[in-house]
Structure 1
Amino acid sequence: MSPAPADPLGRWININGDGGIVRYVGPVDGGSGTWLGVEWTDTERGKHNGSKDGKQYFKCKGTNPKCASFIRCVDRIDWGQTLIEAARSRYIVEIPEICAHLPQAIDGRRGKIEAVGFEKIAREQSDLSALQVLGLDSLKVYGLGTAASVLANVKTLLLSRNYLTGWRQVKEILEALPNVDILDISGNHFDSPLFSGGEDGDLSVGTLRIDSSPGLTWLDVCGIAERVHARCLSFGWSELSLLPVVSLDLLEDLSLEYNHISDILPLSHLPRLRSLNLRGNAELTGIPEIQGHMFSCLESLNLGYTGISSWRSVNNLGTLPLLRRLYLGYTPVVSAGDDSVSRALVIGRLANISKLDGTLISAEERTEMERYYLVLSMDDGSEFPRLPELLAKHGAPRRPAVVEAKIKSRLVSVTIQVVRGPNVVSETAKSLLKSMLVRQLKPIVMRLAGAREFQLYVNNDDLWVLLDCDTRSLDFYGVENDKVIRAVLQ
């Protein structure tokens, strides 16, 4: 833990588990010496909003009238540590200490085997100059520190949930670590506005993650992305709702998961945007008509768990010339009916997509789904685009019962169980394609289980068979109607 800084203004502090940012440093009427005015994250910790006895000493970002208080600069304040201190504490272990715990021999099939080389491995892992991935999440890092040039080879820098509060701290770190190409500064304590003007040096970071940062605006985050020439940007879980139009000419991959976005048009003019993830934005209920050069490079679009509720919105996606991958799972428009019908209605509308909800669309499936789409459109063609094109391609639709039977023959109805220890946590009935690969099933199970670590089994003749190869189909493992697939949490 670092000593009290010479200039504590703007620093994040922690006292006995209560965190806050220093908004004021100076005298207070009626008290002697220097005081710190702190805005706390826990509003029950404070006594006022920066005003005392009718005098306004500082302003708080929060609106609670009791989110701040004055404190003395005392020893129990945790000011955090520098990046280089955190790196040394996490990665450097004294060699004599390591050697004292190393095994002298390992049990082998034919007796004891002499253990050689462990000390060398320990030395290499403690060499900061050789590190390319530096993970310092939740280590109270507030800034760079001295002698950080030893970390110049780092390419991936993970600094989420630390004590960073401003752009200046991030800039100093990037200038000292010029090879960083992946930077994660999510969950820190940044304030808006983040910039006060001025230009920065030649900084370059390919992938930038600033998730869980509700204190920042879209303009703040775009300002960081522009300064580091980011190609990939993630700004999720940050209560974002307003999207002023910005110019990010280099941005190719954008993730804005679980915010409050209701309009995507402000993003439509990003000239190189290839992948857009809007998963979890429940306020997004429709896709407007797309014209001209809007989303001209977009290849992948994730609308899962949004509020998309009309087929007209899906129709509008058909004008995106390069769209190949689309996620619509758990939206009102596809959740209202049968899975096979919804899939046919999406594939029939969108001629160019090759993957829907994580599952590849084979040539055979496209033909079947387009024919099914024609059957569904027989009664009313007003809401069914592509009808002339598909009639010319496939001819008049066959009897609905024949087509539906063929579609359903490709599906299996299974029960997916989520199991933790001896207990079945949940059961869900699902219709799956027999041709679905194991790796395509896993994202579905992740959503149901709320976890990433699990093993999949299918019950065949009272035996639980492990689905052990991601590139094999469910059909290979004998997944049929009424089978149980079990996800065992680890």
Structure 2
Amino acid sequence: MQNCMDTSNPISSGSKSGSDFVMGQRVHFVGDTRRIGTVKYVGEVEGYEGNWVGVDWENADGKHDGSHNGVRYFQAQGPKTASFVRPHNLSSGFPLLKALEFRYHGQSTKQEEEEMYVLSATNKKVSIELLGKDKIQNKLSRFDELTSASLAYLGVSLAGPPGQINATIPRLKELDLTGNLLSDWREIAGICIELPALVTLNLSYNIMSHDVSGMPVLNHIKVVVLNHTGISWKQVEMLKDSLPLVEELHLRGNKLRRITDIRLSENPIADPGRGGVPRFVLIARLAKVEILNGSQVSPRERKESEIRYVRLVMSKCHDNPEETKKLHPRFAELKTFHGIEDEKAASGATGPQKMSLSLISITLKCVAASIGEKAPLTKKLPATTTVGKLKILCESFFKIKSIKPKLFLQEEGSPLPTLLDDDMASIIDFGVGNGSTILVEEEC
């Protein structure tokens, strides 16, 4: 039974009774804002006087699994992640501005100062002093000039009274709220509405509620980090209407397993002409997606996309397996699944035989209105052929003299063909593979 006495706490929560806590509420231990847990039980414990709060700790720093002396009070996530705590030893958190005041106006603790050191040549700790520390601290104390704030693990749980945040930090552009006690999306909205200059919001390690209804439209937020927040893909889809201008969305550590329908229309990530990737790359990297941009992903398209993706990675990544694993986490899995071997020239192979190993077969269809109907042509070309070189070849293949060709990649399942608009890029950069169809149009 844990019954720790109240320790020194830089942000005091005051006296608490058992009735101050509710099931499912996130709390932290008084004096340690990094020791965060979820309330799973409030009431009496057999053999002990008074009220207790059963907490399931996120860092697994507990005594039991929710049962004590043979009596089960709740089910914890692990065998030793839970404990019973006196209410006055728990805090339900603080308004954002209280945490801000402590973070930027408070004095460094002895522990923090002791942790500021470097190791000497003999591996001894040598204390260091920040030059201009007072000057930096003075600048940070002027909240109206603050553009970036980190309030990680400070027990923030609510926005606070309306108007106060805007009056205090009106210029804030970046806000890091990692590891706090936030869960209600209405509190998140209350914070964001008062920060009209806010662009980047980090909510990692806050366990967010599944109810995202009532969220207002936040047109100014462009980067949202929701790593390890327990968010589902259904919630992400509901949030998209409230965050219409988001350019970056981070969702690591949420165990998303049911992404079946994705729409990336008019999004740079799905537009090769704007630095994005072709449809087949998205299909290969998203193992569970069934509908992409409104088009069904058939088993055949998935297989062909995954094989083309593996070939693409193999053509670009040769010497750094670790970098390949980092940038293409499904590469090794797909390479093994489809039985694709590393392409090596046969012993003694030279000239045309060796070159043929890197050739791909493509179909060229001329659809230029001013030329008239021409039969499609199937050609074998090196995968490294540039778009500019292919345009010149098309002029020869179709005997085009009076017009300048414009090329499009036509992919199965994609509603519109992809413009190959970079003459210096190779055709494989745009996802052209064996069996691909390229449309030859004329420039207007």
Q: TM-score, normalised by structure 2?
A: 0.50
Pair 1:236-2:260 in alignment: no
CA distance in 2: counterparts of 1:18 and 1:77, whole angstroms: 10
Pair 1:139-2:139 in alignment: no
Pair 1:263-2:287 in alignment: yes
Cα gap change, 1:374 to 1:18, in 2 (>3 Å)? farther
* Equivalent residue number for residue 13 of structure 2: 3
1:242 Cα deviation (Å)?
3.0
Cα gap change, 1:248 to 1:287, in 2 (>3 Å)? closer
Per-residue CA deviations over 1:399-425 (Å, capped at 9, x if unaligned) read xxxxxxxxxxxxxxxxxxxxxxxxxxx
% same residue: 21
* Equivalent residue number for residue 390 of structure 1: 381
Q: Secondary structure at the match of 1:84?
A: helix
1:89 Cα deviation (Å)?
2.6
Per-residue CA deviations over 1:119-175 (Å, capped at 9, x if unaligned) read 998654421122222222333333323432312321211122333334243233223
1:390 Cα deviation (Å)?
2.6
Aligned AA for 1:263? Answer: A
Q: Secondary structure at the match of 1:23?
A: strand
CA distance in 1: counterparts of 2:358 and 2:341, whole angstroms: 19
CA distance in 2: counterparts of 1:177 and 1:234, whole angstroms: 21
Q: Secondary structure at the match of 1:388?
A: strand
1:188 Cα deviation (Å)?
2.6
Pair 1:72-2:86 in alignment: yes
Correspondence list, 1:67-466, <5 A:
67-74=81-88, 76-77=89-90, 79-92=92-105, 123-146=138-161, 147-149=164-166, 150-190=168-208, 194-195=210-211, 198-204=213-219, 205-213=221-229, 215-229=230-244, 230-245=246-261, 263=287, 265-266=289-290, 268-269=292-293, 288-289=303-304, 310-311=307-308, 313-314=310-311, 331-332=331-332, 337=342, 376=354, 378=356, 385=362, 388=379, 390=381
Per-residue CA deviations over 1:77-123 (Å, capped at 9, x if unaligned) read 355543212222333379xxxxxxxxxxxxxxxxxxxxxx9999865
CA distance in 1: counterparts of 2:351 and 2:100, whole angstroms: 58
- Among 22, 32, 35, which residue is 2:52 paired with? 35
Cα gap change, 1:43 to 1:123, in 2 (>3 Å)? closer
Contact 1:93–1:126 under 8 Å retained in 2: no
Aligned residues: 289
Cα gap change, 1:89 to 1:389, in 2 (>3 Å)? same
Cα gap change, 1:87 to 1:314, in 2 (>3 Å)? same
Aligned AA for 2:183? Answer: T
Contact 1:2–1:81 under 8 Å retained in 2: no
Aligned AA for 2:100? Answer: A
Could you list the runs of 5+ residues in structure 1 that have no partner in the other structure?
A: 95-116, 256-260, 272-285, 291-307, 317-325, 343-371, 397-490
CA distance in 2: counterparts of 1:388 and 1:28, whole angstroms: 79
CA distance in 1: counterparts of 2:79 and 2:356, whole angstroms: 63
Q: Secondary structure at the match of 1:48?
A: coil
Q: Secondary structure at the match of 2:224?
A: strand
1:30 Cα deviation (Å)?
6.1
Contact 2:260–2:288 under 8 Å retained in 1: no
Cα gap change, 1:26 to 1:246, in 2 (>3 Å)? farther
Q: Secondary structure at the match of 2:261?
A: coil
Cα gap change, 1:25 to 1:42, in 2 (>3 Å)? same
Cα gap change, 1:186 to 1:42, in 2 (>3 Å)? closer
CA distance in 2: counterparts of 1:68 and 1:90, whole angstroms: 29
Per-residue CA deviations over 1:186-240 (Å, capped at 9, x if unaligned) read 133346xx21x63222333221111234x33222344344433334211124333
What's the Cα RMSD here? 5.0
Larger radius of gyration: 2
CA distance in 2: counterparts of 1:59 and 1:270, whole angstroms: 42
Per-residue CA deviations over 1:267-318 (Å, capped at 9, x if unaligned) read 72289xxxxxxxxxxxxxx95446xxxxxxxxxxxxxxxxx7x4575479xx
CA distance in 2: counterparts of 1:134 and 1:43, whole angstroms: 29
* Equivalent residue number for residue 366 of structure 1: none
CA distance in 1: counterparts of 2:184 and 2:232, whole angstroms: 14
CA distance in 2: counterparts of 1:380 and 1:247, whole angstroms: 34
